[in-house]
Structure 1
Amino acid sequence: MALRIPQLQRFFYSHYFFGGLRQAIGVLLPAILMGGLFNRYDIGMTAALGALCVAIIDQPGGPRRYRTNEMLGGIVLGSLTVAITGMASLNPLLIWLIVPLLCFALSILTVFGKRGGLIGFACLLLMTLTMHTPLQPQQVLGHTLYSMLGGVFYFIFSFCLSSVLWYRIEQQALSVALFATADYMAARSRFYDVATDLDANYRQLIRTQADMTDKHQAARDMVLRELPKGHGRGDHHRVTLLNIFVDMIDLLDNLVATHTDYATLRQRLPDSDIMLFCRDALYKLSISIGRVALNIARNKQVKERSSVKAELRAIEYELEHFRRQGLDTHEPEVYALLVQVLRRLRNAAKSIDRMAEQTQRGTTEASVNLRLNKSLLPFLSRQELRFGMLTSNFRLSSPHFRYALRVAIAVIAGMGLTAVLGLFMTQEGMTVTLAGHSYWIILTILIVMKPGFALTRQRNGWRLTGTLIGCALAFVLFNLTHNLGIYFAVLVVAYVLGSSLVQLNYTVSAIFNTLFVLLAFHFLSPGTNFVIGERAVDTVIGCGLALLCSYILPWWERSYMDPLARAAKAANQEFLKSGLHYAALRRTQLGQGLLPAAPQAKQDAELEEADFALRLARKNVHITFGNFAAAFYRMMGEPVSHQKDVPELNNLLIQNHVLASQISAAVPILATLPVVPDGVQKMLDAISQLLSDQDATPPASIETEGELATLAYPLKQMAKAAQLIRKEMRGLENVRAVPAKT
């Protein structure tokens, strides 16, 4: 079997590594220039800290325009934070007032989403690093100015680099989305392996799909915001990326529509080789799309591909063997299901072949008409910034308010514990050192604490493990060599990898970030290893305080589950409605409907609008399902006493996935039928009523003649899923209603 692309190779060609390298250069360059040219390492380090604030905001992925606005906002807000903290640093009482207030004010910026949280954290980092060295009043203005200039330098550096290398950045974002698609395909291939556990496969598939949805949205924001304009030097590049993106979405739609009753297949065909052939074909296709992703990231043509012709021919042979045995007569639905699997594997192979051909650099026209205008805006993520979003969350029932309050309380506890340690330490030298580096406890608290309990506990373990390993590596390095050149080289590499891995593997990122900080301290204060032990102790204290304070006014994930489940159901309901409308218009346009024909131009416009609505509904299904799945698995990381309705929510998760998959499978078939038979129509009406929370009984049997056999299975699965969704949703509502009555 073909080998998968190594994770290390994927990482070094990803926008994560490119972003980490960009951040490292932009942050370290001011310190290197000011220190090397003017011997002003103090100014250089201050400017580097200002650049670091903006670099934290400059994360890979997402629209470039949004990042530009966010970085400018970070410069302004960060400069204000430095000025306020610097003015308060000499007054112990004032610092005790200002620091918690800043922690609260900057933490509540999470109301503006992930990007708002990044801006708040970046400013909190500047606050923490500013407060550790008290500033004289006459120094505050200069310190603030140097920090702001460092941020401005990084902004200009990043903006210019992104403008020059825009195509490279978009390639890498698309490559990450393709790799996520390859992982999703590999996860689906395991369902055909009878030796694997179905429940474990489902859990892995749902996690993989949620991650893939995020990657696809990031690529969508990149590609669809930079569409071909019909002129300009970069248009053929944009067309290539657009065509590959469209093929990727078509491939995903094709795969999502292949949801199968794997338990039934394993029961009916336990010893059949067709299961192995399907597994191998899908796995090899995932390898092929991985190669496409890698070559797009490397800006190279795809030359080597894994062929699935042998597997497809073997499946055809097995189907012919089943037909001769009468499977198409005795169990027409199972036979039709296997035929559909074969067709979709063929279509997937064709989509991947088209992607590979797009890398040949000969494409000048878009392969589809996507109406390249403002009508594409609904497919893009939008950034809503209203002052009312902030003021409306100043209430105890708001999770963002509770999170900001927890952070402020945890920071007060950290400052108080540091003060107590400073009072009771008997050795003066140790007292000074602890006081000089106590900000590390506060920094650890700010890094570890997240709005959700599960994320805080998870980040706690990652941070603690990474810091301890990083301290151990630094201790070994300091005892192996005293060469400053080696130290600086390790410092640069550590910062690049620490920044690159923060979204991929936080533990490894924490290892490199700890190593970077310890080496930076060694350059500022050489000749002592005590700081290594202090970093480890401070991290343990900070992690402990963060975990304890996470129990203060917690906002458990169970509070989100009901709205997210309803949103997933509503998205599927809209998806079905849009699909049925599109299928009806398609039948009418083909002259196969019962309605009188409208003018051709009007029919084309209506069909195009319906197709657009269907694609938008499908995208919304993926997003709402991803949000539901992510929240559910976060809840599973919380204490058992706060995990509510786990079996019901897990079943809802699976049934929503089944429903979306079967809608994707049924709509294209419905669009090609001459007439919708009565039994099929009654089944569709029953499904719609069930999703509207109305009583309905799906017909026991429907038409299965000819092509209708391929429609019978997805419709029955849709009806079963709709019934279970209604049952579980009503069960959840009844459980919630019981406490209100008692």
Structure 2
Amino acid sequence: MKSSKNIVATAFKDLSDYFNSTDFSKAILLGIALTVPIIFGVKMDMLPIGITITVGAMLASPSDISGSIRHKITGILFATLLAMIVSLIGGYLHLSLWLLFPIVGILMFSIAYLAIYGFRASLISFSGLLALVLSFSNVSTGMEPYERMLLIGIGGLWYAALSLLRHFIFPKAPTEYYLSKTLKLTAEYLKIRGELVAETTDRSELLKKLLATQTDLTTTHETLRDILISTRTGSGKSEYEGKRMLIFVQLVDMLELAMANPVDYSKTDELFKKKPQQLADFQGLLFAMSSRLNVIADNISTPKRIRNNTKIEGFQKNIKNDISEYALSKKAFDENLLMLKNLFKYQKEQIKKIEKIEWLLKNPAQREISLLKKEDSRKFLTKENYDFEVLVENFNLRSPIFKHSLRLGVMTMIGYGVGMLFSVQNPYWILLTLIVIMRPTFGLTKTRSKERTIGTLIGGALAVGIVLLTQNTTVYGILAIVSLVIAFSMVQRNYKAAATFITLSVVFIYALLRPDIFNVIQYRVTDTLIGAGLATLGNLLLWPAWEIQGMQKTLLETIKANRVYLEEIISFYNKKGNVPTQYKVARKKAFLEMSDLSSAFQRMTQEPKSKQQNLDKFYEIAMLNHTFLSSLASLSTYILNNPTTPASENFNKVSSKIVQNLLDAETILKEEISLEVEKSDPDSEDIFESTYGKKITFSDDEKPKEDFHLKIEEAHLVREQLKWLLAMSKKMPKLLREMEF
């Protein structure tokens, strides 16, 4: 009974999240943008004009993704302009097949190649590809190409106006949604951390889940960062955005704290095996913090509903008592005691962050908070390079986007040829399937092909069932609109479901225009199967872009980002003072590059077995970098949140060696030296013990001082993290020499 209640509660929560998402609100907006012109066309007896305006709105919509309103509108306008130009060209492609095929291939390649400028540019590029494909349809027949172009432009402007209107009516909605999403992902991360504490056998699955959550979290951070920083221009919103920015800063710090792993799991396993109650308390505290973040996320817009909760406070008291009891049972210095204290110190910092978030949400007066400077905050934005040189530099077979564009150009020629050869009713449906499914990597294309095929078959079967039940055109019209809205809202969440509803929508739209609906379903399924098959074959046979080909660069960027982050930590530990902006920028970069490495590894697992060379070694190097970053986060968090002693000569000597090891790893990846060069310094094996010794020692003069316990905590944590970082940094070059790229 309890489990069934939990299932219902989870389902209701998921449904609530779906309806509150920006995907759903955008789908509603698109539904309005597409239906109003058609209704207008029907009422005014100008249906072809209404349909063409609808097509323009649809072509403008893909670039309407989350981010600042300025970036959104700019993307929509560029997509509209590209769609107008391509539609005009497409209107004059009434050529012989011998001329048509190469021209279509060149146009497809050129438009797809614009994706070299980043994610938003790839969506603008998709609008152009879609416009070219639709120029082969019988939409807007009887119009001059320039008339069609102008109406498509009107449709794009109509959609841009609706998008602006939505922004002015609900200006806070994207911020609230992504802030809530970040809180929930952070909660999930803490929950997995809690599960890892208790997992004493095999942690590999939980670590994979942790990496996947971390990737989602850093991606959401980027979106929220863009929304918060880029929109801080209006004076009326500065206070609201400023507070949300400070909450975001707390959440970024929480990720670093959550990543921080100040202890070795093998040591905690050994201790908690003897002290199961301490394990339950530490784990309970992590779960309580996770639960609290979920409560805050659910009430982000109504913070007054957040009630006081004593669970966190209760676990804190239990852990304090556990540590006190353990301390009394030990007469001499004990490393486990220090480990417990440091572990608890990290959890207390996490609690402070949660309390700060709650305080900020309860609308403190403007004078009580200090807003970040705009010039400093803008340094955290990831800027795309839109120079012409980018097109030139990537115009070769080493570029995945170049290969993808070339592949798409060739496959669209083949796809259109197949459609013409077998007299397919709507050959452009094959092209439509190709441009939607084909992705730069084989794994993503294969997944999309599978999901698209299954979704189309399910949609076709449902459509047949509904047609057999009713032939009411009003029902078809309602179902077409509802299916379209659901389809667009599910594209990013569940592509299989999106494909199902897209099929339903297309079938019911055609059912309103043509009587032979069963033929429409049959051709829709056939064309999708042909398109999906060609897309998969194209990625497999034509200039395939296997993940192994880009892994060398991905690893290089990850290791480099970790090194720069480490150098910033070393610099701050030596200088103290205020935390510089470049420190936080380096941390952000390290998190993002680690997420990219994790995503690359996941894509590699989706490729054919024959292309998964050294998969176990790639997993090992990915986990090694993740553990290295966790250790950096531990060191960073301690240094930032505690008064520390001056950096010792030993610290600088060992940390310099760690930096050098990372530089060696980078050199191997850059292939600047022969892989045969494996010689290292003769003293490198025992550099740690030769500097720090085998155990922590203090002079008799230091022990009686009041800050002795703080010093020994610092010495223990810094010593342990350096030892761990040194071991991992030495392992990286050795492991890289064994790998083949």
Match status 1:70 vs 2:72: no
Q: How does 1:294-305 map to 2 (within 5 A)?
A: 294-296=298-300, 298=301, 301-304=304-307
- The residue type paired with residue 519 of structure 2 is F
Q: How does 1:422-433 map to 2 (within 5 A)?
A: 422=423
Distance 1:196 1:460 in 2: 37
Q: Matched residue pairs, number?
A: 696
* Structure-2 residue corresponding to 1:53: 59
* Structure-2 residue corresponding to 1:515: 504
* Structure-2 residue corresponding to 1:43: 49
- The residue type paired with residue 564 of structure 2 is E
Distance 1:624 1:84 in 2: 41
8 Å CA contact retained: 1:444, 1:542: yes
- Give the stretch that moved more between structures: 642-651 or 540-549: 642-651
- The residue type paired with residue 629 of structure 2 is A
Match status 1:620 vs 2:589: yes
Match status 1:636 vs 2:621: no
Displacement of 1:65 in angstroms is 1.9
Distance 1:715 1:629, change over 3 A: farther
Distance 2:308 2:17 in 1: 17
Match status 1:413 vs 2:382: no
Distance 1:135 1:518, change over 3 A: closer
Q: How does 1:139-154 map to 2 (within 5 A)?
A: 139-154=144-159
Displacement of 1:302 in angstroms is 4.1
* Structure-2 residue corresponding to 1:430: none
Q: How does 1:317-466 map to 2 (within 5 A)?
A: 317-326=321-330, 329=332, 331-332=334-335, 334-365=336-367, 367-368=369-370, 370=372, 372-422=373-423, 434-435=424-425, 437-466=426-455
Match status 1:17 vs 2:39: no
Displacement of 1:185 in angstroms is 1.9
Of residues 718, 728, 738 in structure 1, which corresponds to 2:732? 728
Distance 2:19 2:718 in 1: 42
Deviations 1:332-384 (A, max 9, x none): 1x3323222322223323322332333334442473453x1323222012132
Distance 1:287 1:33 in 2: 50
Distance 1:138 1:10, change over 3 A: closer
* Structure-2 residue corresponding to 1:560: 550
* Structure-2 residue corresponding to 1:488: 477
Match status 1:181 vs 2:190: no
Distance 2:266 2:471 in 1: 62
- The residue type paired with residue 87 of structure 1 is Y
Distance 1:470 1:555 in 2: 32
- The residue type paired with residue 324 of structure 1 is L
Of residues 289, 293, 309 in structure 2, which corresponds to 1:289? 293
* Structure-2 residue corresponding to 1:157: 162
- The residue type paired with residue 644 of structure 1 is Q
8 Å CA contact retained: 1:10, 1:294: no
Distance 1:340 1:501, change over 3 A: farther
- TM-score of the aligned structures, taking structure 2 as reference length: 0.88
Distance 2:553 2:295 in 1: 39
Say what the alpha-carbon RMSD is for the aligned residues: 2.7
Distance 1:457 1:692, change over 3 A: same
- The residue type paired with residue 406 of structure 2 is L
Of residues 69, 82, 106 in structure 1, which corresponds to 2:87? 82
Distance 1:166 1:569, change over 3 A: same
- The residue type paired with residue 336 of structure 1 is L
* Structure-1 residue corresponding to 2:258: 255
Deviations 1:194-248 (A, max 9, x none): 377301111111111011101001101111223377xx33333223312321222
Q: How does 1:518-597 map to 2 (within 5 A)?
A: 518-526=507-515, 528-551=517-540, 552-586=542-576
Distance 1:689 1:99, change over 3 A: closer
* Structure-2 residue corresponding to 1:686: 657
- Secondary structure at the aligned position of 1:720 is classed as helix
* Structure-2 residue corresponding to 1:222: 227
- Give the stretch that moved more between structures: 707-716 or 375-384: 707-716
Distance 1:394 1:677 in 2: 50
Distance 1:338 1:389 in 2: 52
* Structure-2 residue corresponding to 1:202: 207
Taking every aligned residue pair, what percent have the same amino acid on both sides? 24
Distance 1:220 1:676 in 2: 33
Deviations 1:593-635 (A, max 9, x none): xxxxxxxxxxxxxx44x53221111111111111111111111
- TM-score of the aligned structures, taking structure 1 as reference length: 0.88
Displacement of 1:451 in angstroms is 0.4
Deviations 1:300-351 (A, max 9, x none): 544246532222222223223332332x85641x332322232222332332
Displacement of 1:136 in angstroms is 6.8
Displacement of 1:714 in angstroms is 5.4
Distance 2:152 2:604 in 1: 40
Deviations 1:522-581 (A, max 9, x none): 222245222112212211111111111112111111111122212111111111111122
Deviations 1:667-722 (A, max 9, x none): 45446223345554444343333333374322253536633335534543443344
Match status 1:264 vs 2:267: yes
Distance 1:660 1:157 in 2: 44
Distance 1:188 1:618 in 2: 20
8 Å CA contact retained: 1:83, 1:140: yes
Deviations 1:260-310 (A, max 9, x none): 4223322332261222322232223222212222222x5554424653222
* Structure-1 residue corresponding to 2:465: 476
8 Å CA contact retained: 1:302, 1:359: no
* Structure-2 residue corresponding to 1:428: none
Distance 2:620 2:718 in 1: 18
Distance 1:476 1:721, change over 3 A: farther
- The residue type paired with residue 690 of structure 1 is N
Deviations 1:711-740 (A, max 9, x none): 534543443344334433344246459xxx
8 Å CA contact retained: 2:214, 2:595: yes
Distance 1:41 1:28 in 2: 12
Distance 2:591 2:149 in 1: 45
Distance 2:80 2:190 in 1: 42
- The residue type paired with residue 347 of structure 1 is E
8 Å CA contact retained: 2:262, 2:342: no
- Secondary structure at the aligned position of 1:146 is classed as helix
- Secondary structure at the aligned position of 1:87 is classed as coil
Of residues 320, 326, 329 in structure 2, which corresponds to 1:316? 320
- Secondary structure at the aligned position of 1:381 is classed as coil
* Structure-2 residue corresponding to 1:127: 132
- Give the stretch that moved more between structures: 521-530 or 618-627: 521-530
Distance 2:157 2:653 in 1: 64
- Secondary structure at the aligned position of 1:703 is classed as coil
Distance 2:505 2:556 in 1: 46
Distance 1:354 1:735 in 2: 46
8 Å CA contact retained: 1:491, 1:519: yes
Distance 1:397 1:303 in 2: 53
Displacement of 1:148 in angstroms is 1.7
8 Å CA contact retained: 2:55, 2:152: yes
Unaligned runs of 5+ in 2: 665-679, 699-708
Distance 1:280 1:495, change over 3 A: farther
Deviations 1:25-80 (A, max 9, x none): 22332222222x31322221211111111111112x22322222221111111011
- The residue type paired with residue 63 of structure 2 is I
